[in-house]
Amino acid sequence: MDTVRAGNKGYSAEMLVVTFNHVKKTVHDGSKIKILLSFGQHGRELITSELALSLLYILTEKRKIAGVDLSSFEKILEHLVIKVVPIENFNGRKRVEAGEICDRRNGRGVDLNRNWSVDWGKKEKDYNPFEEDPGTAPFSEPEAQIMQELSKSFKPHIWVNVHSGMEALFMPYDHKNTTPDGAPSHLMRSVLENVNHRNFQDSCLVGSGGGAVGYLAHGTTTDYLYDIAKVPMPFTFEIYGDEKASTDDCFKMFNPVDKITFDRVINKWCMAFLILFEEGLRTLPDDQVVSQGALDNWVPMGGEILERNMDQKSGGENGKLEGLDLGMQELKTYFRLFMLSTFLLMFMFCSRISKNRSRDSGNI
């Protein structure tokens, strides 16, 4: 478990990152599928963090889901490395627990799912500044900075951002009502449709967030992860919503209020994640599952305050190596540009000499 703290302009945030990795000598870490799951991005969606806790219990203590035998999933877990962020928006969660039941923002009033850089800051006609404040700039918030650096260093093959408010399985895009083109999009949709069919009897909405949810969202996590971070399969799961609840009762709109419904939601969506793991392992092309560096060493960067609290060795040396690697990449780029410029100059010079010689020959 990593505890990560970051901050800027007098505001700080803390995040816990739990890593689950079956240590099996027969499976090399470089060949494993890496999965990153984020819960609790919006403070009022408390049920999402309860799901994270239950899923971790199942993974680590092999608890059963409503009597389902999970032994068949053991082999699948050997091929996965899973990072779980149980509460991405800890400061927002504290505001909700203090009585601001309807608040989805972080500790200084920013919607973390509008603070990413793809189509950041665009406002629709129904824009609500209380609900959707995107911040002063992309990644102005420490929580978004931590998650961005985690995505860069861990390089997941599958990412799921978990919310509540309805029941749906979404893929990019959120900022427009279409899905991406090409084979990767078809693979994502295939995975979601299989999860929907196997676990929900085709009852969940499936498609792009912008096309299915009824409004466009700009600066979201999922769109950044697909367009910029190049995660092969970034998803948004909406795990619960009470359509009959009054708009004045935010807690009931986003969270089950009785034990029977609570248990049903938890069991159903824990099973959905296990099926997702299986579908991802089966569907991802082999050429996308390659070694991308150490799995246990990642150092978020940026912000005035940054700490890493764990019982393992410090990641400072890895941060230096990462910086050195980036520097070498920049030097290679500059060298290529220099060689190209030199070639063009030589070509122009030779062309001018050739023209002068032809002119001199004509004069003779």
Query: DSSP string spanning 88-114?
Result: S-HHHHHHHHTT-TT--S-TTS--GGG
For 212, residues 6+ apart whose C-beta sits below 8 A from its C-beta are 168, 170, 205, 206
Q: How far apart are the C-alpha atoms of 314 and 299, rounded to whole Å?
A: 9
Asked if 50 is an active-site residue, the reply is: no
Q: For residue 1, count CB atoms less than 10 angstroms from its CB and return exposed for 0-12, middle for 13-18, buried for 19 or more.
A: exposed
What are the tokens at 202?
A: 């085709």
Residue 274's CB: how many other CB atoms inside 10 A? 22
Q: How far apart are the C-alpha atoms of 66 and 63, rounded to whole Å?
A: 9
Answer yes or no: are the C-beta atoms of 79 and 33 closer than 8 Å: yes
Answer yes or no: are the C-beta atoms of 73 and 277 closer than 8 Å: yes
Looking only at the bridges linking them, the beta strands covering 33-38 and 80-85 are parallel
Peptide bond before 173: cis, by omega within 30 degrees of 0?
Answer: yes
DSSP 8-class letter at 71 = G
DSSP 8-class letter at 238 = E
CA angle, 216 then 219 then 221, to 5°: 100
Q: Which of 238, 278, 279, 322 is catalytic?
A: 238
Name the H helices within the chain.
46-61, 74-77, 90-97, 129-132, 142-154, 183-200, 209-212, 221-227, 250-254, 259-283, 316-363
Residue type, 106: N
What are the tokens at 356?
A: 């002068």
Torsion of CA 356, 361, 363, 364, to 10 degrees: 150
What are the tokens at 305?
A: 């305050």
User: Any idea which residues carry the catalytic annotation?
Assistant: 238
